[in-house]
Amino acid sequence: MKMGTIVTTQEPRSGPEGRAVLTAKRSNVQGSRSLVAGAADSLLLLAALVWAFASGVSAAEKPRIRFVAAYSPPLVFADANGKIAGVNVDLFNTAAQRAGYSVEWVVTQGNPVDVLLRGEADLFHALPLEPAPPASLYVTKPWIRAEYVALLLQGKDPMAPDLRTVMIDHPIDRVVQNRLFPHSIVSFVGTRDAGLQAICDGRADALITSPRISQSLARGLPPGCADKPMDWIERPNMSIPVAVGARREFAREAERIRSEIASIVTRGEGEGFYARYGLTVNRSFSSMVTLAEFETQRDRIWTMLMATLVLASLLLVALGVAITKNREARRARLAAESATRAKSDFLAVMSHEIRTPLHGCLGLTELLLQTPLSPEQRDLAELSARSASNLNSLLGDILDLNRIESAKLVLEPAPFDPAALVEQAAQMTRALLSAPQVEVLSDLSPSLPPYLTGDESRIRQVLLNLAMNATKFTTEGSITIRAAYEHGQLQTSVQDTGPGIAAGLRARIFEPFEQGDASSTRKHGGSGLGLAIAKQLIDLMQGEIGVNSEVGQGSTFWFNLPLPVGLAPAAEESPAERPAMQGTILLVEDNPVNRKVAARLLENLGLQVEVATDGEAALRMMESVAPGLILMDCQMPGMDGLEATRRIRSSEQRREVRTPIIALTADVSIENRERCRTAGMDDFLGKPLSVEALAGMLRRWLQLRTGDPERV
């Protein structure tokens, strides 16, 4: 610190001169020690121990800390008995006690910072923050702002090198002096009132003091001041922030005591410390209150901010984990979708390639059965038709399983007759039964309503799958198909007298490609898909399916479906009432076998047939032939059926005529159906063709073509 020449003129001050060590001891501690030291009476000793336990840890047991202090009345001074006292002394004694410490005050005439550095004290309660304290000391946050003023004789230059300044010897006073009168000659006095007298006596030109000097001035000017007019100097840079300083090893103690000071202030207890000495709260104390409250609020905000940051960090981490998992799930989903698409594409191609020749096999066999045949020839033709039909059924099972797994199978509920459905299933089972000694029975409950609403074709498929499974394992006895309607559910079962199923095998019998006995593949045949498809269809229709079986006692496969009672559908024409079909059909088909089959089937229905081998030929024939309906194959070399349909629909916009176009294809996937509709086709027929399906489709669209008022 840069200062002018210092002439020490020590004024008489109360209390001992030089370095004094004053220890504040509590009387109750002294009493406890005397009781313990001179205990002759067990009752008194017991009382002392009870008192010590009730009052917690005694002062003698509390950790001791040494505070260094420089006299700064009325905040720090020595009373008439030489004991250190003052507002700051009482305040820090209380704070230390609440923090769990006992205090020893070390008073010095020199710089308290030097006392700390020498290790002769542990803490200093009033360390100014400017200039910066030595790096070897720990400094808390400020706990007060010390307010200062200066008195200057009028006409004196504050920057003059011969200016004489008086003040008490305190670090804060030195900071203020160096800011206001950096070149002055400094003298130290014991009290600020003594400094004011020095100006009045002509021994000083300026005084560094606190605003409390105004109380002395209010009582009247000291002798000799009447002809000494003075200026009152008060500036912003004379408000000095003050903190608790400590040796590094006492940093924790400094922070705890500083925290207790803030608590005392915010609880409104500080006024009492000033009142003990007849003082009122000044601006310095007000600033301490404001600072403590600000710090409390700041700490709360900081805690909330940190909690928010921690929460935000956790949320960000959770978000990052979620994003990572979402990306992984998305990659897995895309990979699964890609695999599903690849499987679907493969099945669509294989379905087309298998169904195309299969269509020829079934069609030619059906045409053969319509010709005169010997009994042996008819038997062979029927076996050929049955084999082709089984192959077509297996292919349908594979495609159905793929559609169900890909969630692409759509149910088509409509009113149907449940009794007729069961009877039809029984008839088909009898027709396909390879063991004539097995009897196929139907048992219909009177509870069956005339009509239910559901997907009749899918329910029939499930029922036939269960019945055909029974025919594989039943070589004698009977197969009974039962149906009832209870509690809003269609309750259906297929009971056989076969060998039964072991308990350990029943759990996986509805899994794809599973059979009750691996050896049954050769003995009984089958792909193991029928029961799996049955279960998945029942699940899709929100029903239940299961099996009851015991080895040697046959099996009962059952399913329950929640189906509402339906209304009777509109009456259909009987075959005898239907008018004979007539008109010209344009058949567009590139496969010569399939052309021959489809053409012969159409001719047998009484229709004229024109044949085109590809899409371009179909467009040319549309110029010369006005067909009542077009059967359009989809996959053909050159111009395929989809492009040919788009060209036909485009040309029809000019002629204002629309010819029904029915897709005729071996690719029966939902995606292909949608492509056909988008291209402009009106309906869809899958290969291999059946005479019933073909006749029904033609009758419907030819009737619409010849004047039915509404087209679908």
Mean pLDDT, all residues of the chain: 80
First to last CA, the chain: 104
**Whether residue 251 has pLDDT greater than 90:** yes
Cβ–Cβ under 8 Å, residues 379 and 356: no
What integer pLDDT is reported at residue 577 of this predicted model?
57
What is the rounded distance in angstroms from the CA atom of residue 634 to the CA atom of residue 640? Answer: 6
**Whether residue 322 has pLDDT greater than 90:** no
More confident residue, 111 or 366: 111
Task: Give the tens place of pLDDT for each residue, 658-694.
Answer: 899 999 888 877 788 889 999 999 999 988 777 888 8
Which residues in 313-325 are b (16+ Cβ under 10 Å) and which e? eeeeeeeeeeeee
- CA 181 and chain centroid, separation: 66
What is the rounded distance in angstroms from the CA atom of residue 455 to the CA atom of residue 410? Answer: 10
Phi/psi of residue 105, nearest 5 degrees: -95, 130
CA distances from 393 to 386, 388, 403 (A): 10, 9, 15
What is the rounded distance in angstroms from the CA atom of residue 120 to the CA atom of residue 117? Answer: 8
Taking phi over 0 as left and psi of -120 to 50 as alpha, with beta for the rest, 435 belongs to beta
Q: Which residue has the tokens 């899709």?
A: 540
DSSP-based three-state secondary structure for 133: coil
Q: Provide the whole-model pTM.
A: 0.45
Q: What is the mean pLDDT of residues 304-308?
A: 84
More confident residue, 365 or 647: 647
What integer pLDDT is reported at residue 51 of this predicted model?
41
What is the rounded distance in angstroms from the CA atom of residue 136 to the CA atom of residue 330? Answer: 59
Cβ–Cβ under 8 Å, residues 360 and 633: no
What integer pLDDT is reported at residue 629 of this predicted model?
93
Task: Give the tens place of pLDDT for each residue, 98-112.
Answer: 999 999 999 988 889
Among 15, 18, 25, which Cα is nearest to 104's? Answer: 25
Q: How sure is the predictor about 330, in pLDDT bands with cuts at 50, 70 and 90?
A: confident
What is the rounded distance in angstroms from the CA atom of residue 137 to the CA atom of residue 120? Answer: 14
What the block records as the tokens of 373 is 């045949």
What integer pLDDT is reported at residue 635 of this predicted model?
86
Cβ–Cβ under 8 Å, residues 242 and 171: no
What is the rounded distance in angstroms from the CA atom of residue 220 to the CA atom of residue 214? Answer: 10
What is the rounded distance in angstroms from the CA atom of residue 667 to the CA atom of residue 319? Answer: 45
Q: How sure is the predictor about 571, in pLDDT bands with cuts at 50, 70 and 90?
A: low
What the block records as the tokens of 464 is 């036939």
Q: Which residue has the tokens 């290969």?
A: 687
